[in-house]
Amino acid sequence: MRALLQRVSRAAVAVEGARVAAIERGLLVFLGVYRDDDEAAAKRLAERTLAARIFADDSKPMNRSVLDVGGSVLVVSQFTLAADTRRGNRPGFAAAAPPEVAQRLYACYVAAVQSGCSHVATGEFGANMQVSLVNDGPVTILIESASRNAQP
């Protein structure tokens, strides 16, 4: 499982021209799910998302978590994070979880984030979404589940 975290001043998601979610200061999280991921990986990745120290305080530019700054989290499913781009020009998606598995693990991740953060918004799983954001920094961090880190 991969979570691409973007520290944002604001972010929003629209589907077919209608806004479905928006946040102010916080994290925009693009979440990719692999075939071999499970609920434990989703929960652990959610914990790591909330604990990631990528917000500034008075002494360091990256010393506080989204929880420390009272920020929001917007989670958007993005199966393309599971793309294999090692060969050719067209990405392969054989490692991506099938939609029914990915949706279940996406929901598990969102629930785990919601258990720790008071303001969590989501995109629409499987929809063609238009995402707008103001990346603060810019700061973009990729975190992966333990099973992803173990592979080359």
Catalytic residues: 78-80
**CA-to-CA distance for 140 and 134, rounded, in angstroms?**
12
- Cα angle 30, 33, 36 (rounded to 5 degrees) comes to 160
CA distance from start to end of the chain: 15
Query: Tokens 């929880």 appear where?
Result: 67
**CA-to-CA distance for 127 and 38, rounded, in angstroms?**
22
The residues near 111 (Cβ < 8 Å, ≥ 6 apart) are none
CA nearest neighbour of 72 among 21, 3, 129: 21
